[in-house]
Amino acid sequence: DEVRWKLNEFRIFSYFVLYFAQRNNMYPLKQDFPPHAFATIGTHDVPSLQSFWHCLDLALFGQLGILEGDVLKEKYDQRVVDKQALLDSLHRDGYLPPDYWGDALSMAMHDNLNRQIHRYLAESESQLVGVQLENLLSQEVSFNLPGTSTEYPNWQKKLSQSLELIFDDAQMTAFFSLINQARRA
């Protein structure tokens, strides 16, 4: 508690990771995000949004024998809860219309859902927002799989496009524009 108090006293920002913010089957209202924080969907140690949504990280943990049996099933079950909570929160806040089809079990990650999750984060009260390139590229990747060393090629995966192509791409420019507009809202 003393450390948190001192960090706040010195106005040192916290790290707010959306993946870990689900409480009581909902994610926070955008005004309830911590204002003195760097908010992001994930980190370097968690899967990209696409991989998270399609549970590819859990499948990898299962294939590698790191998670198995009931523990792996619990992780899959929790992932469905987390995904549904995110969909419900997006509905609650008007990012998805009431008649938007699909639920956590039937809906694949798609461009509009990706954009709306980023818009939700960008419109939050957090003063800083981080956007991961792999999420903008809808890349199904885990750059690092915690708990592995030789089992998985950590830090060897590459982005699907070069930085030059990313920043010259009209769709990426539109995505960045959406983020910028949301930050001004």
Q: Is the pTM of this model over 0.85?
A: yes
Region 123-149 average pLDDT = 91
Query: Which residue's entry shows tokens 């991961």?
Result: 132
Residue 28, phi then psi, degrees to nearest 5: -65, 150
Percent of residues, the chain, with pLDDT higher than 90: 74
Least confident of 65-74, 113-122, 159-168: 159-168
Question: Is pLDDT larger for residue 138 or for residue 82?
Answer: 82
